[in-house]
Amino acid sequence: MTAAGRVTLRRRSLRCHGCGLTAHPLDARLGVDGFLSPHATRLACLAAASWSFDIASDRLHEFAGVPINGETIRRHSHRAAQALTRRREQEPPKAHFEDAEGEVEFLTDGVMAPTRGGWRELKMALYLKRPLGEPAEPNAWAERELPRPTAQAAYAMVADSETFAARWMPLWPRRWGSSRPVR
């Protein structure tokens, strides 16, 4: 399935007589990795970020004419999320923050979210680095425009506080301040 709709693809399939595993030798060169193309996966993930998987399926079909069922959207969204997690583990944003201009801001909050195991807290954290803005009195804070961030990294997970803090604490470099953020 592509972002433009269903495509029929004929390709050679090889099978090992010893172990029974199959392979499609040209898939990597063609960019085929599962049922959805990279662009169709992106559409599915964008829709799943806005709606439940079943509603995302309806919206994709309605808006783009792409018929992908909710279970397929769920599987591919979860797989894409795992790939993003692996990439973040391999390339943490710490180096990007070190080179960016500005002062560090750290924001964190949580919201209750329904999960298969019941209601749990979804915790979120955001690191920003931005140049200092013009000074302002407290009564003008709501109207002032701050400079755009030069670097940012966001984290979110359903976890207890200790597990969540362990995820973002390593990004807190000593040169950003001698003390760690308050939990």
Write out pLDDT tens, residues 69-90: 899 899 889 988 888 877 766 6
Residue 182 lies in a domain: no
Residue 113 lies in a domain: yes
Residue 127 sits in the same domain as residue 72: no
DSSP assignment of 15-58: E-TTT--EE-TTHHHHT--SSS-HHHHHHHHHHHHHS-HHHHHH
Residue 62 sits in the same domain as residue 121: no
* Widest Cα–Cα separation across the chain: 76
Residue 136 lies in a domain: yes
Write down which residue in 70, 90, 110 finishes a domain.
Answer: 90
Residue 105 sits in the same domain as residue 42: no
Find the domain containing 146 and state its range: 94-176
Residue 172 sits in the same domain as residue 107: yes
How far apart, in whole angstroms, are the C-alpha atoms of residue 24 and residue 75?
21
Residue 181 lies in a domain: no
Which whole-number Å values give the CA distances from 94 to 97, 100, 118, 127, 146, in the listed order? 5, 10, 34, 10, 23
Residue 137 sits in the same domain as residue 79: no
| pLDDT grade for 64, boundaries at 50, 70 and 90 | confident
Write down which residue in 90, 122, 143 finishes a domain.
Answer: 90
Q: Can you give the pTM of this predicted structure?
A: 0.51
Phi, psi of 161 (to 5 degrees): -60, -40
In the chain, the number of structural domains is 2
How far apart, in whole angstroms, are the C-alpha atoms of residue 65 and residue 62?
6
Write out pLDDT tens, residues 129-155: 899 989 999 999 999 999 999 988 887
Write down which residue in 90, 107, 134 finishes a domain.
Answer: 90
